[in-house]
Amino acid sequence: MRRPKGLFLFTAMMLSTCAPRAPAPPTWLDLVCTKPFEAQSEAIKRQPGLVPAGEVGSEPYSYYSSPDGRVSYLITRKGSPAYPAIMIQKAQATVATTGCRYGSKKGYDELLAYLEGLKTWRRK
């Protein structure tokens, strides 16, 4: 006895919906420079799975990264010449650094140049 094709397709579709699905990879917030500094800083910090590096030495910045290191945020703290500012680095084939300047243009430009310089830094 032949089974109708429609019944086979229906059964296959129903079984595939029961199979466990791999979790979707996390998506990380992009910067929206029209959003106020404090609101954007808090939204970044609240992202589930984001790894805080905390304070590094005496630098007036806080760092946060995705577990795979593909996305990193730098949030300036009071005392930084660039305060208030937020930077994001996205690593793909190359590392792209962008950010939102809320304060001093000169301080922001110096911070951006510093981060860009780290891309070519090599330990001797």
Tell me the average pLDDT across 56-66: 87
Tell me the average pLDDT across 4-22: 60
The reported pTM is 0.75
Tell me the average pLDDT across 95-109: 94
- Could you give the CA distance from residue 29 to residue 94 in angstroms, rounded to a whole number? 19
Output the CA torsion sign for 58, 42, 68, 51: positive
Contact, 45 vs 86, CB < 8 A?
A: no
Q: Which amino acid, 97? A: T
Contact, 107 vs 92, CB < 8 A?
A: no
Is the N-terminal amide bond of 84 cis, ω within 30° of 0?
A: yes
Q: Which amino acid, 94? A: T
pLDDT at 101: 96
CA nearest 115: which of 58, 33, 59? 59
- Tell me what percent of the residues of the chain surpass a pLDDT of 70: 77
CA nearest 74: which of 39, 45, 110? 45
pLDDT at 26: 75
Contact, 57 vs 86, CB < 8 A?
A: no
